[in-house]
Amino acid sequence: MISEMAKPDIEIKYKEIFINNEFVPAKSGKTFSVINPANKQIIAEIAEGDKADVDAAVAAAKKAFARNSEWRKMDPSGRSKLIYKLADLMERDQDILATLESLEVGKPIGDAKQEVIGAINALRYYGEWCDKYSGETFQAPGNMVSMTRKEPVGVVGQIIPWNVPVLMLTWKWGPALAAGCTIVLKPAESTPLGALHVASLVKEAGFPPGVINVVPGYGHTAGAAISSHMDVNKVAFTGSVGVGKKIMEAAAASNLKRVTLELGGKSPLIVCEDFDVNTAAALCHNFICFNSGQICIAPSRVFVHESIHDAFVSKLVDQAKARKVGDPFESGVQQGPQVNEAIYKRVLSYIEVGKKEGAKLEVGGNPIGDKGYFIEPTVFTNVTDDMKIAKEEIFGPVQCVLKFKTMEEVIERANNTTYGLAAGILTNDINKAMNFANAVEAGSVWVNCYMAFAASAPFGGYKQSGIGRENGIYGLENYLETKTITMNINPVN
């Protein structure tokens, strides 16, 4: 059972839409509730932005991007200083941001603190890029010389998910600001609090009005308005495949704006017979249950060599039974609730599907208590590749264990999916590791580790896991246009 919930001492100050460096109510006057998933209580009522508010935010961003605006005329080093100042203010308020993250997402406070630190580091990384990118010069026929110039794409729309909201905010703000773009951000309706607090720091940092705007609201209204807006030149989205397709359709039907997408996954993690079983079980368990399984790169398909399968499953079950699930603010808690009722019901429905499909429920599978959206860590064995639980993204603490015999076989099975976001392999054989890494169809491949990130390393997916990359110079390129300038240089007489 879940003990009485802790009550963190924090005031929710920012509940309105952020446009032109000011917090304003929604033009409709509407609000929506943000729910604490650990106890189902209302945390705050937030202004509900829709098309009219997006129009106002885009107009502000467009004005801030005008050719003679303060932002456009600012030296790259000036942009760098502002980005660093924002990161410094986030560091000052890191405890506030982590508390908000735990409240609205339901993740353990320790994990939330680590995410905020990662977000700050990502922002600082891009603060260094403002004056580091440049064009090239090329040979041309005769007396011609050609050169390229890198320019910001303009007003960008950014739609971020609810599972790691502060980190996703800086992954998108960082490269956009370094490139010199202006921003209209829509946080997820379940988790707008952290984004609104960071918005309050934008003005304190000294950004010109209109450079960054934050419009909380629903996807089918505010998100759709961003995706179809004629004055938005690029949209970046992290979320589901279904919504990603709608955004692409809207972008094509409007002004053919650029689109980058980071979508879902059904990531395979291969456990070879030469790897320590205890270490493998701990790693596989920790990363399927991280953030209550609500992570697009979760190792939800674990392929285990048949010779160690039974021993591995035994250790995995022990890990699941020992995991502490409960109040995100309670010391020692490793797993909080699912983020909302819809996700909670979705995960439980997949567990029922797994049972009906003939998979063996080794441990878990049940809700915990009735005060929040808590679900036991769950392990299925006897899973086959054609089962729904092995093919579709569950987004919960549910791990499917599958046997394999040979590397050639497991590579083919790992690739037998519409997704291609991430993959991993645990082995002491460098040949196995490199053969798998080269052959698997995934944007990120981890060898003897998992979910290891660096702000400089690109992240994104193959197939229906997305288009484009975030982080590093690859993420920066998404916010830059390449202009070619060719000059005729007359010879000196």
Distance CA 210, CA 198 (A): 15
Tokens of 328: 């995100």
Tokens of 197: 């607090």
Residue owning tokens 């995100």: 328
pLDDT at residue 81, as a whole number: 98
Three-class SS state of 316: helix
Query: Are the C-beta atoms of residues 108 and 102 closer than 8 Å to each other?
Result: yes
| Residue 199 burial class via C-beta count within 10 angstroms: exposed 0-12, middle 13-18, buried 19 and up | buried
Distance CA 299, CA 398 (A): 10
Long-range CB contact pairs, 226-231, < 8 A, 24+: 226/54, 226/58, 226/157, 226/159, 226/184, 226/186, 227/157, 227/159, 227/251, 227/254, 228/253, 228/254, 229/54, 229/55, 229/58, 229/157, 229/254, 230/254, 230/255, 231/58, 231/59, 231/62, 231/155
Cα 170 to its chain centre, rounded Å, is 10
For residue 91, give the amino acid letter.
E
Mapped to the 3 state alphabet, what secondary structure does 78-133 carry? HHHHHHHHHHHHHHHCHHHHHHHHHHHHCCCHHHHHHHHHHHHHHHHHHHCCCCCC
Tens-binned pLDDT, residue by residue, of the chain (493 aa): 555 566 677 889 999 999 999 999 999 999 999 999 999 999 999 999 999 999 999 999 999 999 999 999 999 999 999 999 999 999 999 999 999 999 999 999 999 999 999 999 999 999 999 999 999 998 888 889 999 999 999 999 999 999 999 999 999 999 999 999 999 999 999 999 999 999 999 999 999 999 999 999 999 999 999 999 999 999 999 999 999 999 999 999 999 999 999 999 999 999 999 999 999 999 999 999 999 999 999 999 999 999 999 999 999 999 999 999 999 999 999 999 999 999 999 999 999 999 999 999 999 999 999 899 999 999 999 999 999 999 999 999 999 999 999 999 999 999 999 999 999 999 999 999 999 999 999 999 999 999 999 999 999 999 999 999 999 999 999 999 999 999 998 877 6
Query: Are the C-beta atoms of residues 159 and 235 closer than 8 Å to each other?
Result: yes
What stretches of 180-240 show up as alpha helix (H) in DSSP?
Answer: 193-205, 224-228
pLDDT at residue 6, as a whole number: 62
pLDDT at residue 7, as a whole number: 62
Three-class SS state of 258: strand
Per DSSP, the residues of 16-31 read SEEETTEEE--TT--E
What stretches of 329-377 show up as alpha helix (H) in DSSP?
Answer: 341-357
Distance CA 124, CA 168 (A): 14
Distance CA 160, CA 171 (A): 10
Q: Say which of 48, 101, 104, 262 is annotated catalytic.
A: 262
Axis-axis angle for helices 165-179, 94-105 (nearest 10): 130
Tokens of 301: 């398909």
Distance CA 381, CA 459 (A): 30
Axis-axis angle for helices 76-92, 109-127 (nearest 10): 170
Neighbours of 67 (CB within 10 A): 6
pLDDT at residue 139, as a whole number: 84
pLDDT at residue 209, as a whole number: 98
Tokens of 258: 């650029």
Domains of the chain, CATH where assigned = 17-263+465-483 (3.40.605.10), 268-455 (3.40.309.10)
Query: What pTM did the predictor assign?
Result: 0.95
262 is catalytic: yes
Q: Which of 279, 343, 348 is nearest to 308 (CA)?
A: 279
Cα dist from 67 to 70, 123, 152, 168, 391, whole Å: 9, 25, 11, 29, 49
Tokens of 386: 């054609």
Q: CB-based contacts of 404: which residues, under 8 Å, 6+ apart? A: 270, 303, 304, 305, 306, 410, 413
Query: Are the C-beta atoms of residues 46 and 165 closer than 8 Å to each other?
Result: no
pLDDT at residue 8, as a whole number: 74
Distance CA 239, CA 159 (A): 8
Three-class SS state of 11: coil
Distance CA 116, CA 97 (A): 7
